[in-house]
Amino acid sequence: MRAPLVASWSSLALGLAGCAGGPTGRLERAYFFDLRRIVEMRQRTDWVSDRAEIESGASVTLRSACQTPLAARRRLSTWLDATISGQGGSAEAVWRASGESLSVAQDVLTLERVRMLHHYAEEHQGECPFWLRENPRFVGVHGDHRRFVLLLESEGSAALVFHGRSVAFGAEASARVIPAVGVSDSVTLGTGIEIGGIGAFGAGGADRALSASVSGAVPVLLRFQNATRLFDVELAATGRFFGQESSVQPGVRLSFGYGFTTLRVSDLMPFALLSFGYEYQPADGTLPASHTLRLGTRVGADWAP
269 burial via Cβ count (<10 Å: 0-12, 13-18, 19+): buried
* pLDDT given for residue 9 in this prediction: 46
Q: Catalogue all structural domains in the chain, each as residue range(s) with its CATH number.
A: 2-127 (no CATH), 148-303 (2.40.160.20)
Phi and psi angles of residue 86, each rounded to the nearest 5 degrees, phi first: -70, -20
* pLDDT given for residue 243 in this prediction: 61
180 burial via Cβ count (<10 Å: 0-12, 13-18, 19+): buried
Phi and psi angles of residue 147, each rounded to the nearest 5 degrees, phi first: -120, 150
- What pTM value is reported for the model? 0.85
Instruction: Please give the full DSSP string across 285-304, using - where no structure is assigned.
Output: TTBPPEEEEEEEEEEEEEE-
302 burial via Cβ count (<10 Å: 0-12, 13-18, 19+): buried
pLDDT along the chain (305 residues), means of 10: 45 46 93 97 90 95 98 98 93 93 94 98 97 96 96 96 84 97 96 92 56 90 96 96 73 98 96 98 84 97 96
